[in-house]
């Protein structure tokens, strides 16, 4: 007969085995201590409802999180790691640094690796420019081209000419 790990007086009637981060933890509690921790099994009334068990135990699982994950926050925006896990959205660019260890672990679990190994697009961003914006940019490039030719900067002029052709080809 196991004794309750909380009060060490009553016989344990609730046995929990949790696996968090590949670490298995067993807990043995008496009904009173289990109720204090929010683990009411609903058996007092003679009904057995699995949703009651899972719902009541959700608060108990937080006790098994490592301390750094309970209070981990982004130093810039204050986003908690637990909030990120609920929404799936980071609050600012500094969150990537603040949650680097957790994000690497998450990406490895989801994708099998934490580094991008697929194809990348070399064509740059495909911008949808209005005709007036294209005309304005071409006018700026022509003016810069005249200045480059006057200075006899033929390499710079060639780059400007190529940029003009690319802009005309994409939006012409």
Query: What three-state secondary structure class fits 119?
Result: coil
User: Rounded to whole angstroms, how far apart are CA atoms 12 and 41?
Assistant: 14
Question: What is the pLDDT, as a whole number, of residue 124?
Answer: 52
Q: Of residues 34 and 145, which shows the higher confidence score?
A: 145
Least confident of 20-34, 48-62, 89-103, 155-169: 48-62
Q: What is the DSSP string of 134-171?
A: HHHHHHHHHHHHHHHHHTT-HHHHHHHHHHHHHHHHHH
**Virtual torsion, Cα 34, 35, 39, 43, nearest 10 deg:** 100
Q: What is the pTM of this model?
A: 0.32
Query: What three-state secondary structure class fits 114?
Result: coil
Given a cut of 80, whether residue 131 has pLDDT beyond it is yes
Given a cut of 90, whether residue 142 has pLDDT beyond it is yes
Question: What is the pLDDT, as a whole number, of residue 81?
Answer: 85
Q: Of residues 130 and 93, which shows the higher confidence score?
A: 93
């Amino acid at each position: 007969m196991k004794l309750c790990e909380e009060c060490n007086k009553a016989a344990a009637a609730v046995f929990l085995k949790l696996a968090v981060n590949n670490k298995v933890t067993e807990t043995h509690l008496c009904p009173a201590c289990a109720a204090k921790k929010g683990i009411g099994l609903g058996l007092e009334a003679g009904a057995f409802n699995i949703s009651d068990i899972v719902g009541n135990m959700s608060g108990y699982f937080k006790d098994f999180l490592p301390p750094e994950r309970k209070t981990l926050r982004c130093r810039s925006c204050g986003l908690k790691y637990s909030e990120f896990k609920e929404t799936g959205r980071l609050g600012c660019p500094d969150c990537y640094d603040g949650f680097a260890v957790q994000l690497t672990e998450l990406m490895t679990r989801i994708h099998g690796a934490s580094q991008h190994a697929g194809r990348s697009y070399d064509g740059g961003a495909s911008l949808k420019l209005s005709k007036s914006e294209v005309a304005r940019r071409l006018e700026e490039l022509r003016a810069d081209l005249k200045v480059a030719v006057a200075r006899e900067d033929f390499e710079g002029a060639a780059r400007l000419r190529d940029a003009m052709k690319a802009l005309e080809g994409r939006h012409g």
